[in-house]
Each structure stands twice: as structure tokens, then as C-alpha cells.
Amino acid sequence: MKIIDRRKQALGYPGSGIFPRRSHSAIKYIVWHYTGTTGSNIASHERYWRNDNGWDIGGYNYYIDRAGTIHWNYDWSICTYGAGPANPYTLHISLEASHKNNYTAAQIKAREELTLWLMKQLGLSGDKMRGHKELPGNSTSCPGYSVDELANFRRELSKKLGSGGGAGVVNTGFVKYEYGKFTCTVDDGIVTRDGASLKANKVGSLKKGESVVYTDVHTADGYVWIRYGVGTKDRYVPVRQVGKEAWGKFAEVPRQDNDAIAKEILAGIWGNGKFRKARIDQAKYDYNAVQQRVQALKVVPKEEKKKDDKQVDREFTIDGKTYVVVEK
């Protein structure tokens, strides 16, 4: 896959639009679009969205031009304006085309590779692709395929995911640094481990109603895992099977001040070294400012010595009785 990262040039940067940023686990579907044109480019589309629609960000997380080059426009945490009410739980890919018959071979190949890669990274099954026309609240012919054709695409995606196929796909198992809150809602709770694997040691459980603040998401052994800290230890808990519903609720973590983040660092939540920095940056905090607070909190203030009201000068014993002489 050839990908151009233009996130810092995309419409609205560094804003995120009208929707709050989401955790990656909130993404339920990869949505396919076409632009309705064949001779334009992403910058031109953005000018139209801004000038004619009054949009403050664009419609697609990814745009694929006629040559099959992928343009990465927005982070996964940003809900782009591709499908109205469905935006908070969808991630959008659009091709420069106006009909199913004028997609180029390079575009189709790039779309498949990108879709498979995203599904593996996000822990989605092949049936979690949707055409724009299939989403509730959207009346459109986009992306030009019939419902049956889209169903066939889903079957093909499922086959290739099952066999580890998909040219250019790299399944690292690691999604990305995230920062969110997960609350367990299942009666029996969820077993926690010291690694993102069913082979890792069991170290406890997350009980119904308990919440954790997590900073990473991984996929392994058919499950989606989140990482969180307990003291100085890393803990992992599976939150759902790949392609299935979660065993709890996800929520954004309210913005905290640097002191609060520094205390979480000292409690082990954010990890160490380059991993800590990546997590702090992903959560949009000032790493250097937070680290300054960490160092300040590490300094133990010297205990101030208080003068006794009466200081002992000397003592002596007469006839078995001890007498203490003090200064007044």
C-alpha cells in the first residue's frame, strides 16, 4: 500500500469537528464510499465541503485517488462527516469515482488492502464492512454497488481475514495507544492477565461495575485486549471477542490537569520510557510539562523539626528518684 499522511494538511487540522474524539474500540464498521466525480482530488473536495457545506472537517478518514494512492486524512479517533448519524461508530474510505464501473483496478486493490489492514488493527471481522447506502439515516446510491454485491465483498473479506491473506497486510496485533475508560458489565466479571494472551498468567479479575483507565489496545488469540496499570504492574483484560460485542462500556476520560496525570504515571498507569511518551502524546497532553510535575512530586519535602516545648538538659538521681533539669 502506498499511503500519504496528510493529516496535518487536512481540512480543520488540528480540530476534530462537532463530534467528541472516540476510542478506537468505538469503531464498529469500515464504510466504503465514492466521491461522485472522477477528475478531482482531496484538496478540491475539501474546498467544496468548507465553502459550500460549511464543514469544519472533511468526510473521509482515507481517500484513494485514481492511481490507487491512499491519502490518510484523519486519525481514527476523529469522527469524519461521511455518514451523518452513523459517524460516531464508523470509519470512512472513499475512492475518486462516480460509478462501480469506473473504479480503477489500482483503487480496488488499494481499498481491499486498506480495509483488511484496518480490520486486523481494529479487531473487526470481515462482515463489518458497509456501503454508505447501507447505513441507517443515509439515503444514497454510494458506493454504487448493490446490496448483494456488497454482501459478496464481505464474504471475500472474511475469507482473506481467516486465511491471513491480503497483500501488504501486516497484523502486528497492536492497535495503537489509546486513553479511555472501560467498565465491566458482565455478571461473572473478566479474568485479568499479565500479558495480552490466553497463555499469560492469570492475576485477578475485573468485577461487574469495576472500571479501569486503559492506555493501549491489542488483538491476540481472537480477543481484543486493553492494557492498564496496577501499581507498577501492567495488566491486560480481554474486552470482547474479535467481531463480537464488548463485555462492558467504553467512555472518554475527562480532561485532567498535569498533576493528576503525573500521579497516574507514578502509579504505573502510563508505563515507562518511549512507551510512556507515546501514550501521553496520543492522549494530547504536554509530555514535558507532565514530566516536570512527575519530578516535582518525586521530591520528598524535608520534615521540619519542631522545637520541644521543654528541652531536656540533663538528668540525675537522688535517693532512687530521677530528676530532670530543663530550661524555661
Question: pLDDT, tens digit, for every residue of 24-68?
Answer: 888 999 999 999 999 999 999 999 999 999 999 999 999 999 999
**Are 3-163 and 171-254 equal in CATH topology?**
no
Domain ranges of the chain: 3-163, 171-254, 255-300
Residues paired with 129 in a beta bridge: 30
Q: Where are the alpha helices (DSSP H) in the chain?
A: 42-48, 105-122, 147-162, 258-266, 273-282, 287-298
Q: Using a CB cutoff of 8 Å and minimum separation of 24, what contacts does 46-55 make?
A: 46/10, 46/11, 49/11, 49/81, 50/11, 55/11, 55/12, 55/17, 55/81
One CATH from 3.40.80.10, 3.20.20.70, 3.30.360.10, 3.40.50.300 for 3-163: 3.40.80.10
The answer to whether the CB of 177 falls within 8 A of the CB of 216 is: yes
Fold topology of 171-254: SH3 type barrels. (2.30.30)
Residues paired with 91 in a beta bridge: 30
Strand bridging mode 223-230 / 233-241: antiparallel
- Tens place of pLDDT per residue across the chain (328 aa): 899 999 999 999 999 999 998 888 889 999 999 999 999 999 999 999 999 999 999 999 999 999 999 999 999 999 999 999 999 999 999 999 999 999 999 999 999 999 999 998 888 889 999 999 999 888 899 999 999 999 999 999 999 887 443 333 333 344 445 677 889 999 999 999 988 889 889 999 999 999 888 877 888 888 888 988 776 677 899 998 877 888 998 877 777 889 988 888 887 667 777 767 877 876 778 899 999 999 988 876 555 555 554 454 555 566 666 665 555 5
| Cβ neighbourhood burial of 24 (10 Å; 0-12, 13-18, 19+) | buried
Joined grid coordinates for residue 122: 481494529
111-163 tens-digit pLDDT: 999 999 999 888 888 999 999 999 988 889 999 999 999 999 999 999 988 74
For residues 134 and 146, give the distance between their C-alpha atoms in angstroms, rounded to a whole number: 10
